Amino acid sequence: MARRMLIAGNWKMNGLRQSLGFFEEIRTLVEPGYAVDVLVAPPATLVQAAAQASNGIFIAGQDCHVAESGAHTGDISAAMLKDAGATHVIVGHSERRSDHGERSETVRQKAEAAQSAGLVPIICVGEQEEDRRAGRHTDVVGEQLDASNPGNGDFIIAYEPVWAIGTGLTASVRDIAAMHEFIRGRVAGGASRQILYGGSVKPDNAAEILDLDDVDGALVGGASLKASDFAAIISAAS
Ligand code: PEP
């Protein structure tokens, strides 16, 4: 089965109601009938309004709790995201792993909670700069991969080398190709599994990254905040 291409934007802690004009802008900037799936993960406050304004763009949460409901002040469950109109949720982003001490076991539980609620989890894995310098990047990513994914069902993997996120540094196409091939060989359902690359993807480097055989799309942070940049990346994937 041919794998679909997915261009996913992660707005992180950015965006107010006025940002929703983004969806209309994308509609005018991208040729109708583009052959890729497009997704935006706005902050939780905008999930419902974004789902209403999205013009066919999938909407994702940026995180969810492992539980369906309960005494967890400030948290959001996968069922709540689904109820607000989300179809996907990002779990295990490196900023969650570093800012909130999330471990792969918790990430797997979140991915399972997402699946139970009817959402597709986008599970992030990636090595630190010192792991790559020490040549242990595949070991680190392999361990994260084994421990973070539910094994069965629908899920997407995003390979995001931590040192390339928000830094303007991208992994070389050779390194991206090698890691994606490794992930495909290791993850359950590898042949049909969508594997995205993330880490300073921009309009000027998107085409060469998205052209790689084992890259099925991109998880885009900074460049997803500006409709013209995000539209250029969608066009590069089409
Ligand atoms: C991200 O937030 O997942 C990301 C890849 O960010 P950026 O594109 O800004 O590096």
- Burial string for 92-127 (b: 16+ CB within 10 Å, else e) reads bbbbbbeeeebebebbbbbbbbbbebebbbbbbbbb
228 CB burial (10 A radius; 0-12, 13-18, 19+)? exposed
Residue 52 corresponds to which tokens in the numbers above?
A: 């209403």
Per-residue CA distances from 145 to 26, 87, 156, 211 (Å): 33, 22, 11, 23
Query: Which value does ipTM take for this structure?
Result: 0.97
- 8 A C-beta contact, residue 227 and residue 29: yes
Other beta carbons less than 10 A from residue 45's beta carbon? 11
Q: CA–CA separation, 105 vs 92, rounded Å?
A: 10
Catalytic one among 93, 95, 102, 112? 93
Residue at 1 is within a domain: no
| 143 found inside a domain | yes
Point out the annotated binding site for substrate: 10-12, 166, 200, 221-222
Arithmetic mean of pLDDT over the chain? 96
Report pTM.
0.97
Q: In the prediction, which pLDDT does 17 show?
A: 97
Look at residue 218 and tell me if it is in a domain.
Answer: yes
Is-catalytic flag, 105? Answer: no
Which residues are within 8 A (CB) of 226 and not within 5 positions of it... i.e. 6 or more apart? none
Question: Residue 238: its pLDDT value, please?
Answer: 85
| CATH classification of the domain holding 153 | 3.20.20.70
Structurally, the chain folds into a number of domains equal to 1
- Domain with 72 in it: 6-237
| Probe target for ligand 1 pocket from 10, 40, 169, 209, with the most ligand atoms within 8 Å of CB | 10
Asked if residue 102 belongs to a domain, the reply is: yes
Q: What is the pLDDT of residues 207-229, one digit of tens each?
A: 999 999 999 999 999 999 999 99
- pLDDT reading at 1 higher than 90: no
Atom of ligand 1 nearest to the CA of 12: 2
Atom 4 of ligand 1 has which residue's CA nearest to it? 221
Kindly report, residue by residue over 120-161, the tens digit of the pLDDT: 999 999 999 999 999 999 999 999 999 999 999 999 999 999
Give the pLDDT confidence of 82-128 residue by residue, as tens digits: 999 999 999 999 999 999 999 999 999 999 999 999 999 999 999 99
- What whole-number percentage of the chain has pLDDT above 70? 100
- Tell me which H or E stretch contains 170: none
C-beta 122 within 6 A of ligand 1: no
Distance 28 CA to ligand 1 centre (A): 24
Indicate whether residue 203 lines ligand 1 (CB < 6 A).
no
